């Protein structure tokens, strides 16, 4: 599934396998609505059922030292 999803992501997006059947996507400069739209698109092209969630951080949040 990771390979199929990678072909639909932008070059600066990140897909990572966390373990077993758990994956994480990091989608810079993507708001919650667009992340949900991408999830819907990925679901249409996936051979198996899966669930997803979205978390968004403000882009102006400074990194802690």
Contact 8, 41 (CB under 8 A): yes
Quote the pLDDT of residue 40.
92
pLDDT band of 33, cuts 50, 70, 90: very high
Give the span between the Cα atoms of 56 and 29, in whole angstroms: 10
Contact 14, 26 (CB under 8 A): yes
Quote the pLDDT of residue 38.
93
Could you tell me the maximum CA-CA distance found in the chain, to the nearest angstrom? 42
Quote the pLDDT of residue 63.
61
Tell me the pLDDT of the chain averaged across its residues.
84
pLDDT: which is higher, 20 or 53: 53
Quote the pLDDT of residue 27.
92
Q: Give me the mean pLDDT over the 43-64 stretch.
A: 78
Q: Where are the domains of the chain?
A: 2-44
């Amino acid at each position: 599934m990771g390979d199929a999803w990678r072909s639909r992501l932008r070059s600066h997006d990140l897909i990572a396998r966390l373990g077993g059947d758990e994956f994480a996507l990091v989608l810079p400069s993507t708001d919650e609505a667009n992340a949900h739209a991408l999830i819907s698109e990925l679901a249409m092209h996936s051979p198996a059922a899966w669930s997803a969630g979205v978390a968004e951080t403000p882009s102006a949040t400074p990194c802690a030292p």
